[in-house]
Amino acid sequence: MSSAVKVLVVGSAVGQIRELFAKIKSIDAKHGKFDFALCLGDFFGPPKDASEEYGQEEDIIQLLEGRLEAPMECYIMQGEHPLPAPVIEKFAKTGGALSPNVFLLHKSGVLNTAQGIRIASLGGIYDSNVYTAADSAHGFTSPYFTSQTVEKLLANTMTSSKPQERNYTSLAAIASSTTPSQLVDILISNAWPAGITQFSSAPLPAPELASIGVEPVAEIVRKTKPRYHFAAGGGHPPKFWEREPYVWEEDNARVSRFVSLGAFGGEQPSGKKQRWFYAFSIAPLTPTSEPPPKPANATQNPFLHKALKRPLDSGEDYRWGNNQQPGKRSRTEEPSGKPPAGYKCKICESPEHFITDCPEREKPREGYICRICNEPGHFIRDCPVKNAVGDTGGKKPREGYVCRACGSELHYIQDCPVAKQTGPREGAGRRGPPKPIAPDECWFCLSNPNLAKHLIVSIGSECYVTLPKGQIIPTHQGANHPNAPPVPGGGHVLIVPITHYPTYLAIPPDLAEPIIDETEKYKSALRAMYAKHGAVAVCFEVGRMSAKGGHAHVQVVPVPTKLKNAIEDAFREEGRTHGIEWEEDPDEALRACGGGRGSYFRVDLPDGRKMVHLIREHGPFSIQFGRQVLVSVLGMGDRYDWKACTQSEEEDKEDVQAFKAAFAAFDPSL
């Protein structure tokens, strides 16, 4: 099996080359090592004005002379502007190598990387007049691509991937050396493909993006079926948007993903900075590769149903059988009310009635499936589930919906009693209720295809246990810290209910018992395991009801036995600093939050006692408070920020294996 290739994709540098290289170096040090980077859009930026040279010219010269070094192999493309003359001259001499680590891709190029990844690039922007009027493919001095540019790209995708077979002198030579298909692993372009937003429920950052796609790029997608398609031209300035994956069933269930990145440099949109980089892993496909699993959030393929429109004055008219009509006309009837001679109903072929009066019209065609209930035999308008009533009297949600306020699947959030008790957040300025939670939005739902499943160490009937990203306990660098408990794999874990609920106390009473029982069994097992390694367990939960709809979980952290008496004092002292008050009767406080009636922070101390703080509505409370206290107890202030503690996937997997081996004797799921 081919090993995965780690790729970093970044948005338009817009001339800020030195700054982008510094950021790439930082990302690589923190999340790498990456095999290469793809730089979308305008790498060099536009000219300052019609009479001046390009922005950051000194950086361009230093790059071309090898004095400005890229931190890794970087492939760049043409964006919305013509390329600087020195860059074009260097490209003409070298065929693409601008400096030891920077390579300019052809405007309609296909690259086979050393790792076996096939990348297609389409540089430039689309203009309908230029596209059809041009008699040749435009080069880097033009900002546009033409029909010949696209034809050249599609021809290039047919070439063999073997380097020694890349030099072709004619289309016939290309055809004689084609691979079985034109498929590519990655496609990069400026323009979006037409129809990409169809069937997607991912909210667009701006409504005008729904109509910016162009048909030539859609045609490239249909032919090449990229596993990943990255674009840079999502608005002015560019905005980030990631579409749900879609599947090509006829091509071994090939999965495609589309991501449009914001720009790194240049003018930024108002509001928060748009996401400008994207990291992922991709393995080269071989003839023996197994079909990938279908993502849980996959949609219909937007490129399989291209609308075919025809003029009204051509072909058979839908209503009139073989009668050719010059245009729109009214229905004519015989005095008897029957259709004119020669008319046949298109549904049942009877000459006795019009199609609008056909008795078969009320029956769906064979193979029709209602989109509401996924059952055959009726149209959507007649679906018995369409007007079903939920548990609070409102409309019953579609399958898969989860109320963000209470975790119920039986009502929408606007009909939720918990949400009405909580009320809108002050200053939120929100129009309407929050968008329903989706599997790919929740960090802890097992159905989320982006979940870090390699960190899971145990799966029970109701809950699973996972190491967190960036756990408190150091296991590789810093593992010799005097207060680091010697629990294999570190020992900091999360206990997570498999079903999505915002807090443990929001779980419906008739469903809560088995979930809570299994959670307590995992806590007991972890305490026993920690004790074997000279440590005690501290458990804490941030039970916060919010419109964002978090996923309930308990964090469990080992602390050396020698420090156990400092734990309660640390929570109280740190609490005073942050204005946190602890309830005198923790159990009564938790009962008051039952049914999702309130938010809370709970700590289970090593001696079995609880500490509970009731989080005030709209009141400030840091979700990192528990971590902040424990890194203070352990004397590990540098472990406060979990993002600064993340490791490589290989190191994570080493920790997982070490923990699972040590936990096996205690694991209640085994």
Q: Band the pLDDT of 586: cuts 50, 70, 90.
A: very high
Using the predicted structure, report yes or no on whether residue 100 has a pLDDT greater than 70. yes
pLDDT of res. 472:
97
Gap between the Cα atoms of 109 and 152, Å rounded: 8
- Cβ neighbours for 502, distance < 8 A, ≥ 6 positions apart: 404, 405, 406, 407, 543, 544, 545, 546, 549, 550, 551, 552, 596
Least confident among 95-99, 122-126, 181-185? 181-185
Q: Percent of the chain beyond pLDDT 70?
A: 77
Backbone dihedral angles phi then psi of residue 90, each to the nearest 5 degrees: -65, -40
Using the predicted structure, report yes or no on whether residue 517 has a pLDDT greater than 90. yes
Using the predicted structure, report yes or no on whether residue 461 has a pLDDT greater than 50. yes
Using the predicted structure, report yes or no on whether residue 629 has a pLDDT greater than 70. yes
pLDDT of res. 352:
80
Q: Output 190 or 166, whichever has higher pLDDT.
A: 190
Gap between the Cα atoms of 225 and 666, Å rounded: 48
Least confident among 230-234, 496-500, 547-551? 547-551
pLDDT of res. 340:
73
Average pLDDT in the 492-496 region? 98
Gap between the Cα atoms of 650 and 655, Å rounded: 9
Q: Output 571 or 181, whichever has higher pLDDT.
A: 571
Using the predicted structure, report yes or no on whether residue 53 has a pLDDT greater than 90. no
Tell which residue, 470, 453, 435, 493, has the closest CA to residue 651: 470
pLDDT of res. 376:
80
pLDDT of res. 407:
62
Q: Output 122 or 436, whichever has higher pLDDT.
A: 122
Beta strands in 501-605 (DSSP E): 535-543, 554-560, 599-604
CB–CB of 553/494 below 8 Å?
Answer: yes
Gap between the Cα atoms of 303 and 194, Å rounded: 9
Class of domain 5-282: alpha beta
Q: Band the pLDDT of 658: cuts 50, 70, 90.
A: very high
Q: Band the pLDDT of 504: cuts 50, 70, 90.
A: very high
Q: Output 119 or 272, whichever has higher pLDDT.
A: 119
DSSP-derived letter for residue 465 is: E
- Cβ neighbours for 517, distance < 8 A, ≥ 6 positions apart: 462
Q: Band the pLDDT of 156: cuts 50, 70, 90.
A: confident
pLDDT of res. 132:
83
Average pLDDT in the 69-91 region? 94
Q: Band the pLDDT of 384: cuts 50, 70, 90.
A: low
pTM for the structure as a whole: 0.48
Q: How far is CA 572 from the centre of its chain?
A: 40
DSSP-derived letter for residue 619 is: -
Q: Band the pLDDT of 437: cuts 50, 70, 90.
A: low
Tell which residue, 638, 350, 662, has the closest CA to residue 490: 662
Q: Output 249 or 169, whichever has higher pLDDT.
A: 249
- Cβ neighbours for 81, distance < 8 A, ≥ 6 positions apart: 42, 44, 45, 46, 47, 143
Using the predicted structure, report yes or no on whether residue 380 has a pLDDT greater than 60. yes
Write out 314-364 in H/E/C secondary structure: CCCCCCCCCCCCCCCCCCCCCCCCCCCCCCCCCCCCCCCCCHHHCHHHHCC
Domain boundary assignment for the chain: 5-282, 453-663
Q: Band the pLDDT of 317: cuts 50, 70, 90.
A: very low
Gap between the Cα atoms of 40 and 232, Å rounded: 6
Tokens of 526: 């972890």
Using the predicted structure, report yes or no on whether residue 473 has a pLDDT greater than 70. yes
Using the predicted structure, report yes or no on whether residue 511 has a pLDDT greater than 70. yes
- Which secondary-structure segment (H or E) carries 260? strand 254-260
Residue with tokens 């033409």: 146
CB–CB of 644/638 below 8 Å?
Answer: yes
Length, in residues, of the chain: 670
Gap between the Cα atoms of 471 and 554, Å rounded: 14
Average pLDDT in the 459-478 region? 93
pLDDT of res. 334:
47
Using the predicted structure, report yes or no on whether residue 225 has a pLDDT greater than 70. yes
Dump pLDDT digits (tens) for 22-31: 999 999 999 8
Q: How far is CA 534 from the centre of its chain?
A: 41
Using the predicted structure, report yes or no on whether residue 322 has a pLDDT greater than 50. no
Q: Band the pLDDT of 263: cuts 50, 70, 90.
A: very high
Residue with tokens 């029970």: 460
Gap between the Cα atoms of 346 and 355, Å rounded: 6
- What is the residue-averaged pLDDT of the chain? 83
Q: Output 526 or 167, whichever has higher pLDDT.
A: 526
Gap between the Cα atoms of 482 and 490, Å rounded: 14
Dump pLDDT digits (tens) for 334-367: 444 567 777 777 667 788 876 666 776 666 767 7
